[in-house]
């Protein structure tokens, strides 16, 4: 299944692009997510937003933990691998849907632990209070555990349980041109023969707010008079990589 994520560009990047400049964009899944993508992520920039498109493998736990705590469930309930997300429960109060709560894998104090599920009717045994957030209305309902339940009679058949997957991407912005790079240190031979081209290493400084791929070391040509040589600094953008 294709997924799309939307985010706002940092202001300095948006201003740089808006001034007519080009950038190189690197979008990479954070480990270990890089091995869990069917295809490489792609991206699109529209106005001041970036849209990332990816095709991940949705990871399900191989261990079925529900029967240990709720043995009278009729149907199997898949569990999200806790490295990639958590299950989400649809919460009802007096037969009315009031919102959702996450499973314990969300590492949230407001989550429902397996051991807190009393039975297949979705009743909860905990005496704690939950803040139930509705993804539909945005309303938060504060409710005691004994007054709410998972589903309204549907939990026994694996109903009222959803899955929330979370995949993290690192987005890096690089300059496309080398106009703001300045040579600050050069390593090369002390003397060379007149007219002979040699290579040496230059360390450069980026005077722009936008990073530059390959800015720390590159090659340049030098040529000699007798006791000195001129330096012809050829700074060029780093090699574009397939991202």
pLDDT tens digits along 190-240: 555 555 666 666 566 666 666 555 433 333 333 433 333 344 444 444 433
**Residue with the larger pLDDT of the pair 231 and 154:** 154
The CA distance from 57 to 36, in Å, is: 5
Q: Can you tell me which residue has the tokens 């360390």?
A: 203
CA distances from 14 to 7, 181, 214 (A): 12, 20, 22
Q: Provide the sign of the torsion angle of the four alpha carbons 56, 60, 61, 65, taken in this order.
A: positive
pLDDT 10s digits, 47-101: 888 888 888 888 888 888 899 999 999 999 999 988 888 999 999 999 999 999 9
Please compute Rg for the chain using Cα positions. Answer: 28
Element (H, E) at 7: strand 3-8
pLDDT 10s digits, 98-132: 999 999 877 788 999 999 999 999 999 878 899 99
Paired tokens of 172: 């890096």
The CA distance from 144 to 11, in Å, is: 43
């Amino acid at each position: 299944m294709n997924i799309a994520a939307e985010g706002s560009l940092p202001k300095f990047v948006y201003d740089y692009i808006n001034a007519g400049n080009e950038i190189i964009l690197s979008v990479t899944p954070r480990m270990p997510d890089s091995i869990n993508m069917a295809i490489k992520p792609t991206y699109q920039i529209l106005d001041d937003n970036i849209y990332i498109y990816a095709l991940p493998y949705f990871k399900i736990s191989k261990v079925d933990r529900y029967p240990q705590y709720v043995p009278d469930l009729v149907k199997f309930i898949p569990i999200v691998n806790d490295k990639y997300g958590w299950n989400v429960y649809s919460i009802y109060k007096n037969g009315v849907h009031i919102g959702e709560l996450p499973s314990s894998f969300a590492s949230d104090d407001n989550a429902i632990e397996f051991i807190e599920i009393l039975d297949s009717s979705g009743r909860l045994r905990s005496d704690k209070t939950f803040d139930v957030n509705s993804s539909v209305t945005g309303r938060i309902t504060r409710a005691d555990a004994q007054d709410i339940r998972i589903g309204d009679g549907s939990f026994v058949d694996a109903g009222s349980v959803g899955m929330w997957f979370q995949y993290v991407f690192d987005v890096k912005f690089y300059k496309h041109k080398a106009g703001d790079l300045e040579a600050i240190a050069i390593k090369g031979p002390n003397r060379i023969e007149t007219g002979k081209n040699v290579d040496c290493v230059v360390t450069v400084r980026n005077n722009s707010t936008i990073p530059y791929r390959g800015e720390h070391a590159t090659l340049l040509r030098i040529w000699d008079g007798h006791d000195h040589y001129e330096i012809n600094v050829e700074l060029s953008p780093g090699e574009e990589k397939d991202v």
